[in-house]
Amino acid sequence: MEKKFQNREENEQFNLSNDGSICGYDSLHLLLKDNLKPHHFQEVNRLLTGLNCGKALETIALPQSATALSTEHGFDLQAFCFHADKEVLREPRVVRVGLIQNSIALPTTAHFVDQKKAIFEKVRPIIDSAGSSGVNILCLQEMWMMPLGVWTRDKKWCEFAEPVDGESTKFLQSFAVKYNMVIISPILERDLNHGEVIWNTAVVIGNHGNIIGIHRKNHIPRIGEMNESTFYMEGNTGHPVFETAFGKIAINICFGRHHPLNSLIFGLNGAEIIFNPTATIGELTEAMWPIEQRNAAIANSYYFASINRVGTETFPGPVTSTDFNFYGSSYISAPDASCTPCLSHHRDGLLVTDMDLNLCRQYKDKWGFRMTARYELYAETLARYLKPEFEPQVIRDPLLH
Amino acid sequence: MEKKFQNREENEQFNLSNDGSICGYDSLHLLLKDNLKPHHFQEVNRLLTGLNCGKALETIALPQSATALSTEHGFDLQAFCFHADKEVLREPRVVRVGLIQNSIALPTTAHFVDQKKAIFEKVRPIIDSAGSSGVNILCLQEMWMMPLGVWTRDKKWCEFAEPVDGESTKFLQSFAVKYNMVIISPILERDLNHGEVIWNTAVVIGNHGNIIGIHRKNHIPRIGEMNESTFYMEGNTGHPVFETAFGKIAINICFGRHHPLNSLIFGLNGAEIIFNPTATIGELTEAMWPIEQRNAAIANSYYFASINRVGTETFPGPVTSTDFNFYGSSYISAPDASCTPCLSHHRDGLLVTDMDLNLCRQYKDKWGFRMTARYELYAETLARYLKPEFEPQVIRDPLLH
């Protein structure tokens, strides 16, 4: 069955996009690059992806051990570099970040044990490629260890849930030690110490294999076929920033990217890189995908790294009324409004990106968004808004009937 | 001198973009449309501008009286239509909105009286074109009645400031009555009743020519060559929503678009259209321009209409160290993440857009961003953040040295 899935993916890559649009292509970036004259592409690319510190974004060369895995296992591998200005008093603080996007490995009707094991085996060479590339902080996609069963109306998918120190964490801890790598593992969590409730959780594993802490998804959608609000509630872990060996990071899980206040507080707590593991589909969000994450990076002067799964997930039976076509397109936004191109719409992929964290403070100083933010005005207005007797500030034209 | 300015604009339009990039074009939209195969353009356009309610954005035909003025005076004229789904209990609420972008009319060294008069004469046919097009709500650009002298270090530009009921307001009131049109007039204001201080203000003129009220710019930049924070302070008018004959509107002036909280409160006060009169230049913000406004429209389920001036403004002498090259590109974003193409980078222009305001509530219901926003969490967190003793929520890896 895995072979069949791979064949379908290869077919889609060149002929049909996931959403049934009329022309096949691997990413918007390549579609433009392959079809525009070079000087037109250069200008379009300048407008669409910004310019990192006034220059086109550089690609970086990865070791042959990393690229060989990409060739052998057929996943997209791209690598870029964000620069910052040189400072007099601080050395550059360059961190190498990796993002993994992937489809599931077996049909959703296979035995649960086999499904999870097959996903582990599918991501193993991608993690090895990240490790060989010298990635410092690696993030997997939302609920990477299972299909998106939480969008159906069938609670059997709760069986995939694990405690924070469960088998997915143990699987990744060995890689964290082997490659001296911080790994963010977004899972479906069962909280054994609090009545066995379910959470949507990211586990942060330190570069020595230790569990630094967790963050639970702050905002849960109530939308269309996405039934996940019946599986778990809004997170109770606040907006933690994890101080790791390679920088201060935070995790804004999926739907949280639609909430500018969520993104704001991670920034006020000191995060310099936000990881945004996501599962989202074309009809819903593809037009938003290049907007919200870049806005968060700009407004909060930090890097924002978004991951979306790929492939189609089918849930036979009456538990859902549609297939889910995930569009991948993982990418990273920088505080200077530049961004990397997206990974493939269709294929598994690893995005490796060097980022100088000094760019964050440089843009805080340049733009002064925090200094000019008038938080006292908004804290007061929000507190007033919350009261049932709140009356909006409306000035009515007295000449209206 | 006016003729010379026009010639330079025409030259730039076809050969050189304002920012010195290598290929000339009128807008990103046309650059892509003219250089991609139709089926590629269709897909690129789908990804870049979204799809309004699942369909490509429609253009609308304007009366010959409106288009003739565009031909005669050489300004860009484009017209589009955002649709909403039909509802059972509400009729469609279609409003026709107009945005005007323009360059100044005389060099900044001309007599102040002549400069202002020349701008009035330059925008007159554009306003007439809007009136002939049946525009219901018209917005002009930030400080439309003067050059951007507030970016220099010379306080002589304060002479352009007017009271709320000054000559610019009087000039526009006659058009409001003639065309039954609400007009938003962003000016440099002198507050005669409060010590003659200066504000950056938008005057809202009702469709009977009455002044409904004002809004003063909430967030003032402290950036590079933009010295405006030495000319006026942060606004003291809150986040008013103006209930006009054609809908509930608010004005988010220029730098306020970088502040998601500013955009949020206008939404919580009930605005369905935000007008964002702006003056901004390529090196600073062109990569942000397609991002922040669309994000505001998405996050707050309202329309967001942005205007930026065009042309180069030169201020001879030691008062500033650079010319300012404004890049136009006025456009409108919708709550469904779609947007219009931008007006020209270089030329004066009028953007006419029909929008069904029912789309706002439809997207509030579809996405539920307000329902899932957890404002109580953020009101509390912001209040805590404001205290000097605030400590960020940081979880430190205990294995760090």
The β-bridge partners of A55 are A52
- Tokens read off for B13: 């339009």
- Minimal Cβ distance to B385: which of A218, A268, A381: A268
pLDDT in tens, B29-62: 999 999 999 999 988 888 888 888 888 899 999 9
Q: CA Rg, chain A, in Å?
A: 21
The β-bridge partners of B303 are B273
Q: How many CB atoms lie within 10 A of CB B69?
A: 22
Question: Taking Cα atoms as reference points, which of A272, A269, A251 lies closest to residue A94?
Answer: A272
> How many Cα atoms sit within 13 Å of A394 on the Cβ side?
17
The β-bridge partners of B381 are none
A326-360 burial code (b ≥16 CB/10 A, e <16): bbbbbbbbbbbbbbbbbbbbbbbbbbbbbbbbbbb
Work out the average pLDDT over B125-143.
98
Q: Does A247 touch chain B (CB under 8 A)?
A: no
What's residue A11's pLDDT?
A: 34
- In chain B, the residue whose alpha carbon lies closest to the alpha carbon of A42 is B22
Question: Taking Cα atoms as reference points, which of A298, A92, A125 lies closest to residue B291?
Answer: A298
- In chain A, the residue whose alpha carbon lies closest to the alpha carbon of B233 is A372
DSSP sequence for B211-230: EEEEEE-S----BTTBGGGG
Q: Are A294 and A337 in contact (CB under 8 A)?
A: yes
- Tokens read off for A118: 């097959």
**Encoded amino acid at B376, one letter:** E
3-state secondary structure of A316: coil
The β-bridge partners of B354 are B81, B96
What's residue A392's pLDDT?
A: 98
Is residue B95 within a helix (H) or strand (E), and if so which, with residue range? strand B94-101
Task: Walk across the sheet containing A76-82 and list its strands.
Answer: A58-59, A76-82, A349-356, A94-101, A137-139, A182-191, A197-205, A211-216
Contact call for A234 and B374, based on CB within 8 A: yes
**Burial class, A383, CB count within 10 angstroms (exposed 0-12 / middle 13-18 / buried 19+):** middle
Q: How many residues does chain A have?
A: 401
Rounded to 5 degrees, φ, ψ at B120 are -55, -45
What's residue A319's pLDDT?
A: 76
DSSP type of residue A317: S
pLDDT in tens, A298-356: 999 999 999 999 999 999 887 777 899 999 999 999 999 999 999 999 999 999 999 99
Q: Are B58 and B81 in contact (CB under 8 A)?
A: yes
- Tokens read off for B101: 């972008």
- Minimal Cβ distance to B373: which of A259, A369, A395: A259
pLDDT range class, residue B24, cuts 50, 70, 90:
low
CA–CA separation, B60 vs B354, rounded Å?
A: 8
Contact call for B31 and A43, based on CB within 8 A: yes
Q: Does A358 touch chain B (CB under 8 A)?
A: no
What's residue B8's pLDDT?
A: 34
What's residue A24's pLDDT?
A: 66
* Closest CA of chain B from A151, distance in Å: 15
Question: Taking Cα atoms as reference points, which of B251, B24, B16 lies closest to residue B139?
Answer: B251
Rounded to 5 degrees, φ, ψ at B215 are -135, 140
Cβ within 8 Å of A, B 98-157: none
* CATH class (in words) of the domain with range B57-381: alpha beta
- In chain B, the residue whose alpha carbon lies closest to the alpha carbon of A17 is B43
What's residue B297's pLDDT?
A: 98
Q: Are B299 and B369 in contact (CB under 8 A)?
A: yes
Q: Tell the residue number behind the tokens 């060739």, with chain if given.
A: A71
pLDDT in tens, A61-106: 999 999 999 999 999 999 999 999 999 999 999 999 999 999 999 9
B198-226 burial code (b ≥16 CB/10 A, e <16): bbbbbbbbbbbbebbbbbbbbbbbbbeeb
Contact call for B47 and A290, based on CB within 8 A: yes
Q: Does B55 touch chain A (CB under 8 A)?
A: no
Residue pairs spanning A and B at CB distance below 8 A: 279
Give how far Cα A69 sits from Cα of A107, A123, A180, A371, Å.
24, 11, 19, 46
CA–CA separation, A272 vs A370, rounded Å?
A: 14
CA–CA separation, A153 vs A158, rounded Å?
A: 11
CA–CA separation, A130 vs A124, rounded Å?
A: 10
Q: Does B60 touch chain A (CB under 8 A)?
A: no
CA–CA separation, A58 vs A79, rounded Å?
A: 9
Rounded to 5 degrees, φ, ψ at B164 are -55, -35
Q: Give the alpha-carbon dihedral of A66, A70, A71, A73, to 10 degrees.
A: 130
* CATH class (in words) of the domain with range A2-381: alpha beta
CA–CA separation, A149 vs B191, rounded Å?
A: 61
CA–CA separation, B179 vs B128, rounded Å?
A: 9
Instruction: Find chain A residues with C-beta within 8 A of B268's C-beta.
Output: 381, 385, 392
CA–CA separation, B250 vs B304, rounded Å?
A: 10
- Tokens read off for B115: 């400069």
- Minimal Cβ distance to A395: which of B222, B243, B371: B243
Q: Are A340 and A353 in contact (CB under 8 A)?
A: yes
Instruction: Find chain B residues with C-beta within 8 A of A173's C-beta.
Output: none
pLDDT range class, residue A136, cuts 50, 70, 90:
very high
3-state secondary structure of A43: helix
Query: Would the pLDDT of B16 be above 90?
Result: no
Contact call for B23 and A32, based on CB within 8 A: no
Contacts of B34 by beta carbon, 8 Å cutoff, 6+ apart: B25
pLDDT in tens, A5-49: 333 333 333 333 344 344 468 888 999 999 999 999 988 888 888
Work out the average pLDDT over B319-335.
91
Mutate to test the interface with B, among A395, A399, A400, A401 (most CBs of B within 10 A): A395
Contacts of A160 by beta carbon, 8 Å cutoff, 6+ apart: A112, A116, A143, A145, A146, A149, A188
Rounded percentage of chain B residues whose pLDDT exceeds 90: 84
Q: Tell the residue number behind the tokens 């897909």, with chain if given.
A: B43
What's residue A116's pLDDT?
A: 98
What's residue B49's pLDDT?
A: 87
Query: Would the pLDDT of B298 be above 60?
Result: yes
Catalytic residue numbers of A, as ranges:
142, 217, 254
- Minimal Cβ distance to B385: which of A218, A371, A375: A375
